Chain A
Amino acid sequence: MPLEILGPMVVLGIAGIALLLHLTGQTAPMRFETEDDARRAWLREHGEDAPGTVLVAANGRAALLRLGSGALGLVTIMGADPAARYLTGASWETTTKGLRIRPPDFAAPRFDIALSEEDRAAWLALKDQTT
């Protein structure tokens, strides 16, 4: 198939499917409604390191966890599913909207977490207690 046909077909195909998915409501990020939601998301990937303290962001898109091992963990939303990361070696930065956390991980390089000032203080306090 000539590239002049294949190229536009691929581009239009991707754009069309993306638009259709969005318009039919498939862009619906999940939320952690409760601490247990966040715990389950963590245990799904790290079943041997049970969370103790769990701080869920008010928008339900991330949660900070202090783990049985003594480390800190983060669960975040990836579209309709969660992802979990240890925060050992991560850099923390205060932003106008909350926190920016950068784990030393090419596959999870940056998490921008929207937090109220009160929640941000709680997250930073948990971090300071743990490290």
Chain B
Amino acid sequence: MTDQLTYPDVVALAVPFFIAAILIELTWILIKRRGGRYETLDAVTSLIMGAGNVASGIILGFITFGFLMVLWELTPLDLGTSIWVIALCFVLDDLRYYWVHRFGHRIRWVWASHVNHHSSQHYNLTTALRQTWTGTFTFMMVVRAPLILLGFHPAMVLFCGGLNLIYQFWIHTEAIGRMPRWFEAVMNTPSHHRVHHGRNPRYLDANYAGVFIIWDKLFGTFVPELDEEKPDYGLVQNLGTFNPIRVAFHEWVGIFKDVVQPGITWRDRLNYCIQPPGWSHDGSRDTSEAIKAKHLERNPEDRGTAGFEGG
């Protein structure tokens, strides 16, 4: 077994590239007066969230790595470290990302961690860096378990996860319209990911892909960006603060308040953790399905169109 395998910390190495790309995008927007928008407090909040994500990885990363190394000790399989194994690991890890991301939007416990990435009402390269501080507490590292048990080394799996994150950086922009058709068909692109960040009823719970958009097409969650409906970025209920602590923890606090409220059953308390965001024991809030259904009541002509096929 190749226990002592190391790969570069690609996310940390990419920090200078992130800063340079943000400066280039901002310059482009200022010169061309199109292709997106920036706001100081919003951008600074996103950047602080990004720095906090790196810090939380340094502080808590041992938990995930330790868990994966335990699995590595258990598995009899070792696929080695050839370039083809790394390539296969990258593709399978992207499938892993798709499902973790989908869980992140459909299970409130996981959403509590992911929500801050969607909390900006802007969509620019700083938004890409608005990352979670609490990912470890979602326990979504278990979704990586099959990869380790199949014989991919934990260091390789985490390396591929880092590459995946770096790929997703450049798609957080309005400065790029659409890529060539073949690229849009296979890869996640700015256009596809703008849809994912849209709070429009049409665009809710769509395009979970990391690198390859084919997963959304395969699993029925793909919605194309429509020229006639520009994404409205942010949350269904936008935040009323730029405080990074509140951005990072607000949904966890919301879960806590819901779970400890008096007069509900233990099943209700559990459901406040595991049901989709917007679920409530008395039906007083709206899930994305309810939001879509209400939209169709007001706009029946949208029924059957992209994002409303199931309505």
Contact = CB atoms under 8 A, between A and B. Distances in A.
B309 interface: no
A65 B201 CA distance: 24
Nearest to B256: A106
A28 to B, nearest CB: 8
Interface size classification for chain B? 35 or more
B40 A79 contact: yes
A10 B15 contact: yes
A19 to B, nearest CB: 9
A84 interface: yes
Interface residue SS majority, chain A: mixed
Given A6-B15, A81-B234, A26 B40 contact: yes
A85 B241 CA distance: 12
A36 interface: no
A14 interface: yes
Given A1-B13, A22-B40, A17 B48 contact: no
B43 A21 contact: yes
Contact of B42 (A9, A14, A79): A79
B270 interface: no
B55 to A, nearest CB: 9
Given A106-B253, A106-B254, A13 B237 contact: no
Interface stretch (B19-27, B100-108, B275-283): B19-27
Given A6-B12, A78-B121, A17 B22 contact: yes
B170 interface: no
B47 A13 contact: yes
A82 B233 CA distance: 12
A125 interface: no
Interface in A23-44: 24, 26-28, 44
Of A3, A48, A105, chain B has the most CB atoms within 10 Å of the CB of A105
A14 B244 CA distance: 14
> 6 closest A-B pairs (Cβ-Cβ)?
A108-B240, A107-B250, A79-B39, A81-B121, A27-B40, A80-B39
A79 B242 contact: yes
15 contacts: A1-B9, A6-B15, A9-B15, A10-B51, A17-B26, A21-B43, A24-B26, A78-B121, A81-B122, A83-B240, A84-B238, A106-B246, A106-B249, A109-B241, A109-B246
Contacts of B39: 21, 26-28, 79-81
Contacts, number: 113
B159 to A, nearest CB: 15
Interface of A: 1, 3, 6, 9-11, 13-14, 16-18, 20-22, 24, 26-28, 44-45, 47-48, 76, 78-85, 103, 105-109, 111
A28 B37 CA distance: 12
B304 to A, nearest CB: 21
Interface string B94-126: 000000000000000000000000000110001
A17 B23 contact: yes
A20 B26 contact: yes
Contacts of A11: 51
B30 interface: yes
Contact of A45 (B37, B43, B237, B298): B237
A26 B124 CA distance: 13
B164 to A, nearest CB: 19
Given A14-B47, A17-B43, A106-B254, A78 B240 contact: yes
A44 B22 contact: no
Contacts of A1: 9, 12-13, 15
B234 A85 contact: no
B5 interface: no
B253 A17 contact: no
A42 B41 CA distance: 22
A89 to B, nearest CB: 12
Contacts of A22: 40
